[in-house]
Amino acid sequence: MSQAAVLSGCRLLGPFADEQMPLQRAVALQAQALGLLLCEVPADDQALVYRLEGEGLHPAQCRITGWGDGAPTGISEFTLQAACGLMAVHGRASGQAQAIDLDYLSNVAASLVLTGLMATVLGRLRGGEMADCSLSLPGAGLLCISQYLAGATAEGGAEQLPAGCSSAQLRPPFISADGVSFELETLDAGPWLAFWDALGVSRADSGKGWQGFLLRYARAIAPVPEALCQALASLSYAQIEHHCANTGMAITQVHDLARRGALAALGDSPWSFELQPVVPPSRPCSQALPLSGLQVIESCRRIQGPLAGHLLAILGAEVTRLEMPGGDPLRGMAPLAQGCSVRFDALNGLKSVVELDIKSADERALLRQRAAAADVFLHNWAPGKAEELGLDQPDLAQTNPALIYAYAGGWGGTNVPAGLPGTDFTVQAWSGVAQLIGQGEGNPGGSLFTVLDVFGGVLAAQGIVAALLARHLHGLAGRVDSSLLGAADVLCRSRLARREASAMVFQCQDARLAIDCSVPRDLDAVRRLFDLPAQSAWRAMFEPLRQQLPCKPASHWHALLLAAGVPVAIVWQDLAQLHQDPRLSPWLQPGSYTRVLSPWRFI
């Protein structure tokens, strides 16, 4: 079936035309990828609302909210990253708190808006009482840093990792003697140690580097001993490639979009649907959340897949997580609360757990029995593993044709260099995302915040909910694939559509302040507030602002700019303090660590 047939006959009404609003662009692009017909309805100054309607369904709308329950005025991509701690997480390895130079939270929020709308409509079709929903932009921002927030607020052993806590130079990606920026990857210590042995690096240095490298997914820093960087800087890229091939280390250049385009074009959709006609099961919506009454089986590791399952659980699905005998090893990753890793619990605490050895034929039979009664089976196993185990979509469809079989992978169906694992940082580098991020910062590129794992998990959940809605509306079921590369391509396309931003972080008397003047009216307001020449360009305003802002506290300037309608936010650098912000506290739950609550509200 074609992509457009997934939600054929459905229309999305709302504002799409304002090119200066990345959120509106993101909603339009993702909706079109799902086959929704767009109908322009101008935005109301008091509300930003999208409405989903079509034959055979009860219309529903999603209202996007900003601080509190109000309209999202005074919030931009730049200031939201500042207020929700994303600048601080990204800045841990970048030298100082700074924005990810992509429309990142706008794309995440767009995905959550559409997921909330589709879930609401599906819940109504299944007899639920919810009529509409809302999506909080601050809630969406906090969702993205939930595991980092957990680590920073654990009752025992909370991490102190402020922005700039590690060197901005002594970290991946690396640079060769001939100036090539590149990423290394391995999930095992053996190839890592063998690689550095071949380069003449001491085991003391390579062992220390392995610990930082291994934990970069969890901590957003990767402190690498200087000896490692010096060894790489003394060799050409071709020489480093040779050593990688001999030791089992993976390597890829940090591509710009021109080089990426020569390898493979940007994808038009982050999903691939292979759905066939079925008789949809009767699954009444039993509670107040739209996916209640639906059964999800999840067999995933690390971030992307578990986050997708977490979002389905937030929406009310009963998610059963399959773990190896003895439990997932990541449960023991410090810091801990009540004997479990707080990072792990932030993404998995809403799920029930069944330990199962899929290498055993008897236990695979048990998994097939569970899948026969489930609505969704979600996994992120290595490519080819499902077929090898007899647990691919055709296998499970034999006993449950109506099952939505979801795969959250790394590369999707794209041809990529052999032996390159589909992990967050390799896909950032290969796809062009790392270069775009580095372009904004003036360094070789990439973020040690798991940009693609998080967005990839959000998109995986969105694809699953779309498939569940298609099952109910059109009697279709089967396979939905999403990938980190699909998430990267969405971000790359969004970046290509952007206009040059006029935004910057300034130091005030006591804290840093993010000011965004990307819209002309906001630029005019700043000129008036600071008595600057009427036609002065944004860059000409840097020095006057740098001189005036340190004279008073950030809260003073924040209040003035906010009153003038200018997007502004104090840059939170300590995640442990986020719950003190009354604008954020409704989406946070303090306890043994600070949990991020659902960004949706259902009415």
Amino acid making up residue 4: A
Element (H, E) at 466: helix 451-474
| Residue pointed to by tokens 């890793």 | 341
Cβ contact 335:157 at 8 Å: yes
Q: Structure tokens of 235?
A: 């060799």
Q: Name 198's Cβ contacts closer than 8 Å, sequence gap at least 6.
A: 243, 246, 247
Which of 345, 424, 453, 516 is the catalytic position? 453
φ, ψ of residue 127 to 5 degrees: the values are 95, 10
Query: How far apart are the C-alpha atoms of 142 and 599, rounded to whole Å?
Result: 9
**Backbone CA torsion sign across 13, 18, 24, 28:** positive
- Count Cβ atoms below 10 Å from residue 555 Cβ, excluding itself: 14
Catalytic, 453? Answer: yes
The helix, strand and coil proportions of the chain, stated in percent and rounded to the nearest 5, come to 45, 15, 40
Write the DSSP assignment of 484-505 as a string of letters.
HHHHHHHHHHHHHTPPPP-EEE
Crossing angle, helix 554-563 and helix 520-529, to 10 degrees?
130
Between the CA of residue 540 and those of 146, 515, 523, 531, 532, what are the distances in Å?
A: 38, 15, 12, 13, 10
Residues forming the active site: 453
